[in-house]
Chains A and B, each alone.
Chain A
């Protein structure tokens, strides 16, 4: 079969990129290998672990369950774009730091993208809501408790 290449144009963290890519290239691999944005981690590659979670037009999705060609003319946010331009942490990043919400850090980018979008919709969540929102992200180090604490603390600091 001939290589099925496509020209795509997309915005990642506010910056426009144009690339020519093969249709079977996963969005997760595109971000890491074509754009060098290796903050999006690849765990299971079948939609179970959540490590590759990014925002697609503002909604958290699995980057391993989309093809890069599908991102043509869409907007993507990755963990590299989460901190403010002056390099101040996002409140959730700061809270994860303060509450020891990570050990090895492999799941962390996916958790940050999932939960920052969650907090943008629900600034005063209950612990149960936080755990439900976290259910699609696996963490093998922390036992989740410190992540839940961090998300609740971030919500509190974002409420001011």
Chain B
């Protein structure tokens, strides 16, 4: 339960961190919150030769908002989001999911960018980034690109990041004014890995009909799952019990959960359907009632 030896370098600037990553490639890991990396190093499941500590790079932290979008620095800690009432007010989906992310001590340390780059399929934030149509800004030493969240998660613990790249910022488009959100999750214990989790976002037109429905899941596949297609029958409709129930059935049909010692695949599929139904209904009600 002790990590293998490594070389530790505390980067003092983003440029230095990117130069080190370009030099060491896959032999090096960025150390942000370390709340997933250090346990895997303690188990010696990961043995990076070099750790590039980015905690001292101030420009990677913080939240800023413009007319059309909010940007979150990759090093921003979960707890910082939780304490920011304006942010949680803008993105209630994230506010509702944060208490499901591990425990208070982990949330004090863990970072948004670290979470997404780790790409644990049971994690809440990757599914939420899909639901919110986030864009991720990625830097290397001499280039930069934006990746849609939908293209970022390509497998279990695997992202589209190249060995010399760092996720530096997340951009969230502001939700429609008449929208509602709901995040629901079931785990064996509070803060444990999700058996299934569902994020729903519903936007309404002025007749209270759904103009946009987003539905994503965590914990039920190798990557976060965008199941919005299963809810497209709600578009242009005031959702009836039957429509919502049909959408939940479509979710169950399209997912392929792996099952585990804690929950069989059938149970995960059942839970995903129940949570999808509840989340869609709640998100619609919140959109309609204006909170």
Residue numbers of A with Cβ under 8 A of B are: 1, 3-4, 6, 22-24, 26, 29, 45-47, 50, 53, 56, 59-62, 64-67, 69-70, 72, 114, 118, 132-133, 135-136
Q: List 12 A-B contacts (CB under 8 A).
A: A23-B8, A23-B51, A24-B5, A47-B35, A50-B105, A61-B109, A62-B105, A65-B34, A65-B35, A69-B8, A118-B104, A136-B104
Give CA–CA (A6, B109) in the complex, Å. 22
Residues of A within 8 A of B108 (CB): 56, 59-61
Instruction: Return the contact of B39 from the options A1, A24, A65, A67 (Cβ within 8 A).
Output: A65
Contact check, A65 vs B38: say whether CB atoms are below 8 A apart: yes
Contact check, B34 vs A4: say whether CB atoms are below 8 A apart: no
Judge whether B12 is part of the interface by a CB distance below 8 angstroms. Answer: no
| Chain B 16-34 near chain A by CB (<8 Å), digits 1 or 0 | 0000000000000001001
Give CA–CA (A69, B103) in the complex, Å. 24
- Using known A-B contacts A47-B35, A135-B191, determine if residue A24 contacts B106 with beta carbons closer than 8 Å: no
Instruction: Return the contact of A135 from the options B2, B103, B109 (Cβ within 8 A).
Output: B103
Contact check, B106 vs A46: say whether CB atoms are below 8 A apart: no
- Using known A-B contacts A47-B35, A59-B79, determine if residue A70 contacts B190 with beta carbons closer than 8 Å: no
Residue pairs across A and B with CB atoms within 8 Å: the count is: 94
Give the nearest-CB partner of A121 in chain B: B83
Instruction: Return the contact of B104 from the options A1, A6, A60, A72 (Cβ within 8 A).
Output: A60
User: Measured between C-beta atoms, what is the minimum distance from A9 to chain B in Å?
Assistant: 14
Residues of A within 8 A of B191 (CB): 135-136
Interface size on B, residues (CB 8 A): 31
Instruction: Return the contact of B99 from the options A3, A61, A132 (Cβ within 8 A).
Output: A132
Q: A66-B34, A70-B53 are in contact. List 20 more A-B contacts (CB 8 A).
A: A1-B49, A4-B7, A23-B5, A24-B5, A45-B1, A59-B108, A60-B104, A62-B35, A62-B106, A66-B38, A66-B109, A67-B38, A67-B51, A70-B55, A72-B10, A114-B104, A132-B99, A132-B190, A135-B190, A135-B191
Residues of A within 8 A of B49 (CB): 1
Residues of B within 8 A of A118 (CB): 104
